[in-house]
Amino acid sequence: MRRINPSRFKVATRGTSREINRSIVLNLVRARQPISRADLARAMDVRRGAVTLIVNDLLREGLIFEGATGETVRGRKPTFLYIDSRRRAVVAADIRASETFVMLADLLGTPMTGAISFPTIRDPKKQVQALAARVKALLADHPEVDACEGMGVVVPGMVEHSTMRVLHAPTLGWRNVDLREGLAAATGLPVQIENSGRACALAQAWAMREDLGGLAGDLVFVSISDGVGVGVMIHGEVLRGRHNIAGEFGHVPLSLDGPRCSCGSNGCWEAYVSNPATLARYFGRPSDHRGPTPAEQRHFTVEDLIARVRARDAKASAALDSTARYLGLGLASVINVLDPARVYVGGEITLAWDLIESTVRAALAERALTPAAAETDIRPVASTEYPRLRGAAALVAAPAFAAPVVA
């Protein structure tokens, strides 16, 4: 039950129900397109005239458009409605410690281009300049896009929600960095910035299109790359916490005597399961935040390691198996604390999910507090699905479909 705050609230007005119904119509079109006005009225159990008024508003605003005409046995032929993402796009950017990825997506979060990348620059000002240049070039290469609605950026760190300042990004060495103002000025676009794990959770829930059903809006997304990002969604709301650090399971220690983490502490989950940790293990180095040398990482990736595992390389298999075990132990902490209906795991390591799932499950079962918790639904999200970039796109596109806040 959602509590009404007696000190901070918004009184419902005659227009409130219209706002809610407008949001319902927009989401029904997104989830069920193509859909007719009559189908919308039946789904909402309201008069067709009430739906038509809302549809006409959405048509005028350019959020939906009329497409093909359907067939019917009798009466007027229905005209189908669609979300209008034909010539409108959003820019999605994923900043990681090693590389930054950029792509264009439509208003449903579907990639319109492949991802381009460049080495991440640790100096924030130079990174902003480099990213802005790529964004301008990307838009110039796609003149078919009439309007860019904005730019979403995900970062591997803690982000203050109201100002979108990067409070702390350990793998980048950033503290209290303002990317938003510089990017907005350089690109001329509205810019949204969020922690990568939270953005992935938002995108995963948004991609479901339909109601979350049995999930009741409770899910966790674990993103494994140069670090570990965790996004938590409870009752359909992304969890942030008072100090914007909720969900930072990557920096919960598996062992106080473990390897050094990018955050400066020892034994964090991230120091065991991140891509640099896995590669460092393979190269026979301490599994600390330094990982492999830049030359090694540039020429040998986690994907290469997985290929060697499939070729029966014992050394690669041992490195991957250790990562799988640590992944399961860390997931046990996530599940014991949050008890989500489902956990998604994203990142390059999911390419080996068929090889590691049993080890992950066994380690999870060791630490799970109940047998039911050990059986929590865990689903891999392939890196080819661009979960972090989809999350970045959702930062711009998803708010248009959000339910209005009335209290």
pLDDT digit of tens for each residue in the chain (407 aa)? 445 444 554 555 655 677 888 888 888 888 888 888 888 888 888 888 888 888 898 888 888 888 877 565 555 677 899 888 777 889 999 999 999 999 999 888 888 888 999 999 999 999 999 999 999 999 999 988 888 989 999 999 999 999 999 999 999 999 999 999 999 999 999 999 999 999 999 888 877 654 455 555 689 999 999 999 999 999 888 999 999 999 999 999 999 999 999 999 999 999 999 999 999 999 987 655 555 555 555 579 999 999 999 999 999 999 999 999 999 999 999 999 999 999 999 999 999 999 999 999 999 999 999 999 999 999 999 988 899 999 999 999 887 776 665 55
Per DSSP bridges, beta strands 237-238 and 191-195 are unpaired
Structure tokens, 179: 């990317």
Nearest to 320 by CA among 305, 332, 331: 305
Helix, coil or strand: residue 311: coil
Class for the domain spanning 16-83:
mainly alpha
Nearest to 218 by CA among 318, 316, 56, 335: 335
Count Cβ atoms within 10 A of the Cβ of residue 344 and give its class: 0-12 exposed, 13-18 middle, 19 or more buried. Answer: buried
Give 75's contacts (C-beta < 8 A, 6+ positions apart).
none
Indicate where the chain has its CATH 1.10.10.10 domain(s): 16-83
Structure tokens, 340: 């989500």
Amino acid at 388: R
Helices and strands in the chain: count of H runs, count of E runs: 14, 15
pTM recorded for the entire structure: 0.85
pLDDT, position 314: 97
CATH T-level assignment (fold) for domain 209-385: Nucleotidyltransferase; domain 5 (3.30.420)
pLDDT, position 110: 83
Whole-number Å distance between alpha carbons of 197 and 170: 14
Paired strand residues for 117: 101
Count Cβ atoms within 10 A of the Cβ of residue 60 and give its class: 0-12 exposed, 13-18 middle, 19 or more buried. Answer: exposed
Dihedral Cα 191, 207, 247, 333, nearest 10 deg? -160
Q: State whether the Cα torsion 389-229-202-210 is positive or negative.
A: positive
Whole-number Å distance between alpha carbons of 317 and 314: 5
Q: Which helix (H) or strand (E) holds 286?
A: none
Paired strand residues for 82: 65
- Per-residue HEC secondary structure of 65-76 comes to EEEEECCCCCCC
Whole-number Å distance between alpha carbons of 264 and 247: 18
Whole-number Å distance between alpha carbons of 246 and 239: 6
Q: Are 178 and 162 in contact (CB under 8 A)?
A: no
Amino acid at 368: A
Assess whether the previous peptide bond of 143 is cis (omega < 30° from 0).
no
Nearest to 106 by CA among 146, 136, 162: 146
Whole-number Å distance between alpha carbons of 340 and 377: 9
Q: Helices 302-310 & 314-338, crossing angle to 10 degrees?
A: 120
Q: 88-201+390-401 falls under which CATH superfamily?
A: ATPase, nucleotide binding domain (3.30.420.40)
pLDDT, position 211: 47
Q: Determine the straight-line distance between the first and last CA of the chain, rounded to whole angstroms.
A: 13
Q: Are 134 and 116 in contact (CB under 8 A)?
A: yes
pLDDT, position 342: 95
Whole-number Å distance between alpha carbons of 168 and 157: 5
pLDDT, position 220: 96
pLDDT, position 4: 44
pLDDT, position 298: 57
Indicate where the chain has its CATH 3.30.420.40 domain(s): 88-201+390-401, 209-385
Q: Are 207 and 195 in contact (CB under 8 A)?
A: no
